[in-house]
Amino acid sequence: MEQISKRLMSWASILEDNTRAQAVATSQMPFIYPHLALMPDAHLGKGATVGSVIPTLGAIIPAAVGVDIGCGMIAVRTQFATGDFAGGDLSVLRESIEAAVPTSAGKYNERLTEPTAARADELRELAGADQADALARNWPLQLGTLGSGNHFIEVTADEEGIVWLFLHSGSRGVGNKIAMKHIKIAQDLCRKWWIELPDPDLAYLVQGTDEFWAYIKGLRWAQRFALLNREEMMDRVVGSVEAWTGVAVVESERINCHHNFTQQETHFGKDVWLSRKGAIDATLGTPGLIPGSMGTASYVVEGLGNRLSLNSSPHGAGRSYSRSAARKAFTNDDLRAAMVGIEYRDTDAFVDEIPQAYKDIDVVMADAADLVTIKHTLHQMVNVKGD
Distance (Å, rounded) from C-alpha 346 to C-alpha 342? 11
pLDDT of residue 293: 87
pLDDT of residue 191: 96
342 neighbors 154 (Cβ within 8 angstroms): no
**What's the rounded mean pLDDT across residues 336-352?**
93
Distance (Å, rounded) from C-alpha 363 to C-alpha 326? 20
Q: Catalytic annotation on 258?
A: no
Show me where the domains of the chain are located.
Answer: 2-385
pLDDT of residue 177: 96
pLDDT surpasses 90 at 311: yes
**What's the rounded mean pLDDT across residues 193-198?**
95
The model's confidence at residue 106, banded by pLDDT at 50, 70 and 90, is: confident
**What's the rounded mean pLDDT across residues 222-231?**
97
The model's confidence at residue 168, banded by pLDDT at 50, 70 and 90, is: very high
Beta bridge partners of 72: 169, 258
Other C-beta atoms lying within 10 Å of the C-beta of residue 195? 13
Distance (Å, rounded) from C-alpha 276 to C-alpha 28? 17
pLDDT surpasses 90 at 54: yes
Q: Which CATH superfamily is domain 2-385 in?
A: tRNA-splicing ligase RtcB (3.90.1860.10)
240 neighbors 94 (Cβ within 8 angstroms): no
Q: Which of left, alpha, beta for 128 (phi over 0: left; psi -120 to 50: alpha)?
A: left
Distance (Å, rounded) from C-alpha 159 to C-alpha 333? 28
pLDDT in tens, 196-213: 999 999 999 999 999 999
pLDDT of residue 40: 96
CA distance readout (Å), 346 to 175, 220, 337, 385: 30, 37, 11, 11
Distance (Å, rounded) from C-alpha 216 to C-alpha 126? 13
pLDDT surpasses 90 at 387: no
Other C-beta atoms lying within 10 Å of the C-beta of residue 387? 12
pLDDT surpasses 90 at 74: yes
The model's confidence at residue 295, banded by pLDDT at 50, 70 and 90, is: confident
Distance (Å, rounded) from C-alpha 81 to C-alpha 312? 32
**What's the rounded mean pLDDT across residues 181-202?**
96
pLDDT surpasses 90 at 152: yes
pLDDT surpasses 90 at 190: yes
Amino acid identity of residue 303, one-letter, is G
**What's the rounded mean pLDDT across residues 111-123?**
92
Total number of residues shown for the chain: 387
Which of 168, 315, 376, 379 is catalytic? The answer is 315
The model's confidence at residue 105, banded by pLDDT at 50, 70 and 90, is: confident
Cα dihedral sign, 255-260-265-270: positive
| Mean pLDDT (the chain, rounded) | 95
pLDDT of residue 216: 97
DSSP letters, 21-51, are HHHHHHHTSTTB-S-EEEEEEEE--SSS-EE
pLDDT of residue 47: 86
Distance (Å, rounded) from C-alpha 108 to C-alpha 62? 26
Q: pLDDT > 90: what percent of the chain? A: 90
